[in-house]
Amino acid sequence: MKSLAPNANFGKGKVLRAQYAWEDSALFVAVCLDGEEWTLRDTEIFDPRYDERDRERRIKERVRLGIRRVFERVYGLAESPWGILTGVRPMKMVHSMLDRGFPPEELKVLLREVYALSPKKADLLLEVAAEQRPYFHPDPNNPIGIYVGIPFCPTRCSYCSFAAYPLHTHGHLLPAFLEALHAEIAAVGSLIKERGLEVEAVYLGGGTPTTVQGADLDRLLGLLREHLCTATTREFTVEAGRPETLSRETLSILKANGTQRICINPQTMHEPTLQAIGRRHTVEEVRTAFAAARDIGIPLINMDIILGLPGEELPQVRQTLEEIADLGPDNLTVHSLALKRASRLKKDWEQERIAQEQGEAMVDLARDYALSWGMSPYYLYRQRHILGDLENIGYSKPGAASVYNIQMMEERQTILALGAGGITKLIAPDLTLARQVNPKCPAAYTAQIRGCLEERLAALRRHFSSRY
Ligand code: SF4
């Protein structure tokens, strides 16, 4: 119930009753709240393409749908474009159904009827799935992907939830952090060689990796290429992120080390908002960094924007998109701001409704621009308390999609994460997942990583040995 209506205040003496029963080759579900009753008879659940686990899950989904429907009637809860798909990775469910042999047209009907998605969101999921599926490999453990986390940033943005420590307060930790990271890169590299693994994509993220500059950056990128890239590595991304870190010298080092993709993330091209959210760079710096990156010959550039930033409505979003149109990136990633949880039920739901209308208009506007640039959506995910219950979408020009983003999001490929805040995802052949988490704090990472490297490598060896 909390996931369907996160801001709801329960415990007011009303009784919610949910029941299910198997009757005449059908699942019968009834949900009742405050005199409002919702019932459903589901026969599709007996489709032979489902197994027992699917049927158990379907019972929960049907009850969720019933609860959602009675909440809509009793509390005026707004219909959500995402229906009962409240998880952060709606694509995983779609891929699982496609794996089972449900053709897209049939799946579209199920997305509408079982998951209560709006037609627009059902279409979006199928569109993204079609883009992604050619990137999937039969073996989730060869090739693999690599993530390396650098937890430093020039300043901390007010909305940030990542491992990001401002250089002016934590910069003294950088040298020791880099030494520890070099040791981890060499150790994981030796394991990759020992197991004969191929690495499909390397992603240097954070934080802002380009807070590492000059000879330190050159050495770091050189070690990544030497130890972690293999003959078939097709993508090397550096999430440059903050434009104020992108001098011509830094961009030249990225280029000289084979960086194929960088992210220059303005979030907004509206100067007052940039200052309000603590970015401390200017719109002009975004333009300058972008032009320099093109001039130096970085092949692909992604730009991130955030919809729903404080004080921004449609005109500011349009201005941002117009400015980005002039620059012409190869990818556009459109985030919807995650809203903070508020306390009062009715007020919150009204706010949600307003946010939903405005948010949808912004999302549609961004989509219109991206499509007009010849891009298509290629990955998406959701967050809790996201603006208007919307989503984050990555758009790409043809042939420019980030394979790392797809594999990381869909969790069909083992990703080894190094550096601070990295989460290694070990994928079993049945696509179940085990995680290993590196400390977020650079001081903790530096103190711990050498001591636990052997144990970590042993766990990785076990994983890669047991995969057949
Ligand atoms: S640049 Fe990104 S990682 Fe760094 S503080 Fe801002 S949002 Fe966080």
Q: Whose CA is nearest to atom 7 of ligand 1?
A: 160
pLDDT of residue 405 exceeding 50: yes
pLDDT of residue 407 exceeding 50: yes
- What's the pTM value of the predicted model, to 2 decimals? 0.92
DSSP SS3 for 93: helix
Q: Which atom of ligand 1 is nearest to the CA of 265?
A: 1
Of 70-79, 248-257, 344-353, highest mean pLDDT: 248-257
| pLDDT at residue 160, rounded to an integer | 84
In whole angstroms, what is the distance from residue 380 CA to residue 406 CA? 9
Higher local confidence (pLDDT), 163 or 113: 113
Question: At 154, is the pLDDT very low, low, confident or very high (cuts 50, 70, 90)?
Answer: very high
Domains in the chain, please, with CATH? 1-73 (no CATH), 144-330+400-454 (3.80.30)
Taking residues 303-307, what's their average pLDDT?
96
Are residues 129 and 401 in contact, defined by beta-carbon separation less than 8 angstroms? no
Could you tell me whether strands 433-437 and 423-427 are parallel, antiparallel, or unpaired per DSSP bridges? antiparallel
> How many other CB atoms sit within 10 Å of the CB of residue 264?
27
Give the closest residue to 241 by CA, choosing from 263, 212, 269: 263
Helix/strand/coil percentages in the chain, nearest 5: 45, 20, 30
| pLDDT at residue 321, rounded to an integer | 98
DSSP SS3 for 150: strand
Taking residues 88-106, what's their average pLDDT?
93
Pocket test residue of 157, 212, 273 for ligand 1, highest count of atoms within 8 A of CB: 157
DSSP SS3 for 58: helix
pLDDT of residue 457 exceeding 60: yes
Quick: pLDDT tens for 14-23.
Answer: 889 999 999 8
Counting Cα atoms < 13 Å in the Cβ hemisphere of 393 gives 26
| pLDDT at residue 340, rounded to an integer | 47
| pLDDT at residue 378, rounded to an integer | 98
Taking residues 146-172, what's their average pLDDT?
92
| Ligand 1 centroid from CA 39, angstroms | 47
| pLDDT at residue 25, rounded to an integer | 85
Ligand 1 and 208: CB distance under 6 A:
yes
Pocket test residue of 155, 208, 286 for ligand 1, highest count of atoms within 8 A of CB: 208
Higher local confidence (pLDDT), 387 or 369: 369
Ligand 1 and 156: CB distance under 6 A:
yes
Q: What is the dihedral of CA 204, 206, 207, 209, to 10 degrees?
A: -20
* Buried/exposed code over 164-184 (b: 16+ C-beta within 10 A; e: otherwise): bbebeebeebbeebbebbeeb
With pLDDT > 70 as the criterion, what percentage of the chain qualifies? 94
Contacts of 3 (CB under 8 A, 6+ apart): 86
Contacts of 412 (CB under 8 A, 6+ apart): 95, 136, 137, 140, 427, 431
pLDDT of residue 245 exceeding 60: yes
> How many other CB atoms sit within 10 Å of the CB of residue 158?
11
pLDDT of residue 90 exceeding 60: yes
Q: What is the mean pLDDT of the chain?
A: 91
Contacts of 146 (CB under 8 A, 6+ apart): 188, 199, 201, 202, 203, 224, 228, 415, 416, 417, 418
Which tokens go with 443?
A: 């001081």
Helices first, then strands: H and E counts in the chain: 14, 16
Alpha helices in 196-344 (DSSP H): 214-223, 248-256, 271-276, 283-296, 314-327
| pLDDT at residue 383, rounded to an integer | 82
Taking residues 82-91, what's their average pLDDT?
85
pLDDT of residue 341 exceeding 80: no
Length reported for the chain? 468
Quick: pLDDT tens for 423-441.
Answer: 999 999 999 999 999 999 9
Quick: pLDDT tens for 42-82.
Answer: 999 899 999 888 889 899 999 999 999 998 888 887 778 89
Range in 74-83, 310-319, 375-384, 454-463 with the lowest mean pLDDT: 74-83
Q: Whose CA is nearest to atom 2 of ligand 1?
A: 207
DSSP SS3 for 379: strand
Quick: pLDDT tens for 175-187.
Answer: 999 999 999 999 9
Contacts of 99 (CB under 8 A, 6+ apart): none
pLDDT of residue 347 exceeding 60: no
The amino acid at 200:
E
Ligand 1 and 160: CB distance under 6 A:
yes
Higher local confidence (pLDDT), 5 or 321: 321
| Ligand 1 centroid from CA 63, angstroms | 39
pLDDT of residue 95 exceeding 90: yes
Q: Whose CA is nearest to atom 8 of ligand 1?
A: 160
Taking residues 189-206, what's their average pLDDT?
96
In whole angstroms, what is the distance from residue 467 CA to residue 432 CA? 12
* Buried/exposed code over 330-357 (b: 16+ C-beta within 10 A; e: otherwise): bbbbbbbbbbeeeeebeebbeebbebbe
Are residues 411 and 426 in contact, defined by beta-carbon separation less than 8 angstroms? no
| pLDDT at residue 468, rounded to an integer | 47
